[in-house]
Amino acid sequence: MSLEGRAAVITGATSGIGFRVACALSRRGVKLVLGGRRADVLEQHCEVLPDALYLAGDIAEPDMPGRLLELALERHGRLDIVVNNAGQNHNGPIESVDVEQVCGMARVNVEAAFRMAYLAVKHFRDVGRGHLVNTSSVLGFKVRPYAGAYAGTKYAVEALSEALRLELAGTPIKVTCVEPGLVITDLHRDHADRPEVAQDVAEPLMPEEVAEMIVYALEQPDHIATPRLMILPQSQSI
């Protein structure tokens, strides 16, 4: 199904999966609103992506999700797709984990994600169609040592996504939860030990590979739902 002429909001679009989704959608003629914290990076993206606007700010601020939606409607005249992708990853053993960082992660991964999700589906119900994509993780189903708090935030995203899908079943509004395994993104830039080494994953996923799977879900015909897409490196044994 062609996406040309549609409009999308993408959070966490400065790098990684969010930026690669923006590139993939732009190639298909989608108009974009990019959200993220680094204005200089977003400005550079919009210089090379046609019909792309940006709004820089902290997605955890209560008004930020609404401002992104309003910008899309004001400048593009419509909003068909929301890729709810902004996230943080803070893990650690009991004796050294920073609880304040864990709580900050929960504000982004849960509170901000919930705000964006509910605003998106309310708008989609008003206009009669739309597609919400929530970025979860394989840790939305599983846990491993030191990563319980991060997994907990993704369990919450999974629960909300499934409940919204059930509530919207039978309507033209879709909800997809994308569950990548290990992806090399900026989420790992502050890790002392490279995750692909620590987890013994020979060939991790690249953000553009996950982006293409998200586009796959968005391009499905109206009668086909893709509630979950789990994407793992072949060598990841989690």
Asked if residue 115 lies in contact with residue 107, where contact means CB atoms within 8 angstroms, the answer is no
pLDDT of residue 1: 83
Per-residue HEC secondary structure of 138-197 comes to: HHHCCCCCCCHHHHHHHHHHHHHHHHHHHHHCCCCEEEEEEEECCECCHHHCCCCCCHHH
pLDDT of residue 197: 46
For residue 237, being part of any structural domain is answered with no
Give residue 22's domain range. 7-231
- The pTM score is 0.93
pLDDT of residue 143: 94
3-state helix, strand, coil in the chain (%, to 5): 45, 15, 40
For residue 60, being part of any structural domain is answered with yes
The amino acid sitting at 72 is A
Instruction: Collect all residues with Cβ–Cβ distance below 8 Å to 164 and sequence separation of at least 6.
Output: 117, 121, 132, 175
Q: Which CATH number covers residue 84?
A: 3.40.50.720
How many separate domains does the chain show?
1
For residue 160, being part of any structural domain is answered with yes
Residue 143, CB-side half-sphere exposure with 13 Å CA sphere:
11
For residue 198, being part of any structural domain is answered with yes
Q: What Rg value do the Cα atoms of the chain yield, rounded?
A: 17
pLDDT of residue 199: 64
For residue 238, being part of any structural domain is answered with no
Asked if residue 139 lies in contact with residue 158, where contact means CB atoms within 8 angstroms, the answer is no
pLDDT of residue 7: 98
Look up residue 128 and give its two tokens: 């009669």
pLDDT of residue 234: 83
Dist CA 20 CA 178 (whole Å): 14
Positions annotated as catalytic residues are 150
Pick out the chain residues at pLDDT < 70.
186-200
158-203 pLDDT, tens digit each: 999 999 999 999 999 999 999 999 998 866 555 556 565 456 577 8
For residue 236, being part of any structural domain is answered with no
pLDDT of residue 220: 98
Asked if residue 193 lies in contact with residue 181, where contact means CB atoms within 8 angstroms, the answer is no
- Per the listing, tokens 């914290």 go with 37
Give the bridge partners for 180, in sequence order: 231
For residue 195, being part of any structural domain is answered with yes
For residue 2, being part of any structural domain is answered with no
